Amino acid sequence: MAESIKDKVAIVGMGCTKFGELWDKGASDLVIEAAYEAFEDAGIDPEDIQACWIGTTDVATSGMAGLGASAPLRLQYKPVTRVENMCATGSDALRNACYAVAAKVYDVVLVLGVEKFKDTGQSGLAVGGGMPAANVYPNTTAPGMFAMMATKYFTRYGLSPEEGKTMLAKIVVKSHYNGSLNPKAHFQRAITLEQVLNAPIIAWPLGLFDCCGVSDGAAAAIVVPAADARKFQIDPVFIKALQICVGPAEGMARTDYDYTHVEETYRAGMAAYAEAGIKKPRQEISMAEVHDCFSITEAVIMEDLQFSPRGKVKEDIDAETFTLQGKLPVQPDGGLKCFGHPVGASGLRMMYEIYKQLQGKAGPRQIENPQLGLTHNMGGQPPMCTVSCVIAGLKA
């Protein structure tokens, strides 16, 4: 009989590099920095690690199989698995590591996520390339794929372009403010609504500030059985739910897909709430780090995760529900938008913020008395994607 992961494993140490355009650092530097911060946090040595999962994507220069972890850290003949699942890569690495610990195969494991994108010299996410192909896919980019969701959202809910763009701009202003409080964030500058609205259009209707950056960075976690957690850490964080939902990619061929929600997010969220025993997500979740690759993505995620009713996220945005002082802070660390988006590391970066917040160590960004935090990643594009949803809390 299948069982929930709830309270079976705990995170007892985490590390995260500064994200950004780290011209003077290679992928191995980032792996070492994130891992050693986590080792120190958990009070362990590298040789205590029994197995490792490393999440890194194949879009740029970072993909190095298991050697991407073992070589920089000089791990001595340990099992290392490389995980790739688009933008859910880091969260899926965590998920697989947690299952191995829950299965009692290992006692102490390391999870890593890393990306070194900026060496490509390209603007935006460097998707494509690689194998010879038919090359007849439409000429669009990641912003373009998500912009089509914004176009449809505005149309469906009767928002004029100005109303729609203003709604999205408020999301961006909120995240930039949070990022300004975060010394590890890629972008640490608060911006105004006017700046967002007047920025150049990247892919209509999305402007420059509606899009997250592409960053270098790494994050790491040490996972142990829940029962052992306090041997390592006075305030460990316990895993409540670990969900991955990979869609059948039918939305681009089916006329019943509405392009204003992401079914994978909805289902991953529902499954995570069930696994964690959450009945009223809006009331029970203290904070969320969601996949705001674009402002419209965050807006729709709020509805898919049932934080806001369908078509009504604008009301919550206008009511400042998701600001640091709001009822349900979202992106307290600045999100992908400002912390940055080294794809393989992003899921673990989100968990790093949840972990620090739950421990009360988030400095000027600290949320009052958080109990449960949620992370969400979405890889792909609205009609066809893979989504992770992880919930963690302080008490077992």
Residues serving a catalytic function are 87, 341
Residues 225 and 9 sit within 8 Å (Cβ to Cβ)? yes
> Could you tell me the CA-to-CA distances from 1 to 4, 261 in Å, in that order?
10, 32
Distance CA 383, CA 386 (A): 10
Q: How far is the CB of 295 from another protein (least distance, A)?
A: 14
Of 47, 67, 71, 155, which one interacts with another protein (CB under 8 A)? 155
Q: How far is the CB of 292 from another protein (least distance, A)?
A: 18
Q: Residue 76 or 255: which CB sits closer to another protein?
A: 255
Q: How far is the CB of 51 from another protein (least distance, A)?
A: 28
| Contact stretch for another protein (CB under 8 A) within 117-125, 173-181, 270-278, 306-314 | 117-125
| Contact stretch for another protein (CB under 8 A) within 15-23, 151-159, 271-279, 350-358 | 151-159
Q: Note whether 61 binds another protein by CB under 8 A.
A: no
The amino acid at 230: R
Q: Residue 145 or 268: which CB sits closer to another protein?
A: 145
Distance CA 92, CA 222 (A): 15
User: Which among 209, 256, 232 has a CA at the least distance from the CA of 108?
Assistant: 232
Q: How far is the CB of 166 from another protein (least distance, A)?
A: 19
Tally Cβ neighbours within 10 Å of residue 336. Answer: 32
SS3 label, residue 218: strand
Write phi, then psi, for 352 (nearest 5 degrees).
Answer: -60, -45
User: Which among 121, 128, 126, 201 has a CA at the least distance from the CA of 169?
Assistant: 201
Q: Residue 86 or 348: which CB sits closer to another protein?
A: 86
Q: How far is the CB of 122 from another protein (least distance, A)?
A: 5
In the structure encoding, which two tokens stand for residue 80, read together?
Answer: 């290392």
Q: Residue 359 or 377: which CB sits closer to another protein?
A: 377
Distance CA 209, CA 192 (A): 11
Q: How far is the CB of 155 from another protein (least distance, A)?
A: 5
- Quickly tell me which residue has 């992928």 as its tokens: 27
Quick note: the x/- pattern for another protein over 223-262, rule CB under 8 A, is -------------------------xxx-xxxx-x-x---
Q: Residue 207 or 332: which CB sits closer to another protein?
A: 207
Quick note: the x/- pattern for another protein over 268-307, rule CB under 8 A, is ----------------------------------------
> Could you tell me the CA-to-CA distances from 101 to 20, 36, 192, 211, 275 in Å, in that order?
32, 21, 45, 36, 18
Q: Residue 149 or 219: which CB sits closer to another protein?
A: 149
Q: By CB under 8 A, what part of segment 189-208 binds another protein?
A: 200-204, 206
Residue positions counted in the chain: 396
Q: Residue 17 or 295: which CB sits closer to another protein?
A: 295
Q: Residue 100 or 214: which CB sits closer to another protein?
A: 214
Q: How far is C-alpha 148 from the geometric centre of its chain's CA atoms?
A: 22
Q: How far is the CB of 256 from another protein (least distance, A)?
A: 8
Q: By CB under 8 A, what part of segment 329-388 binds another protein?
A: 380, 384
In the structure encoding, which two tokens stand for residue 163, read together?
Answer: 């109303």
Q: How far is the CB of 169 from another protein (least distance, A)?
A: 18
The amino acid at 102: A
Instruction: Give every strand in the sheet of 80-83, ordered side by side.
Output: 80-83, 51-55, 109-116, 216-225, 9-16, 237-246, 384-393, 372-381, 287-289
Q: By CB under 8 A, what part of segment 121-150 binds another protein?
A: 121-124, 126-141, 143-145, 147-149
User: Which among 181, 32, 180 has a CA at the least distance from the CA of 116?
Assistant: 32
Chain residues binding another protein by CB under 8 A are: 120-124, 126-141, 143-145, 147-149, 151-152, 155, 200-204, 206, 248-250, 252-255, 257, 259, 380, 384
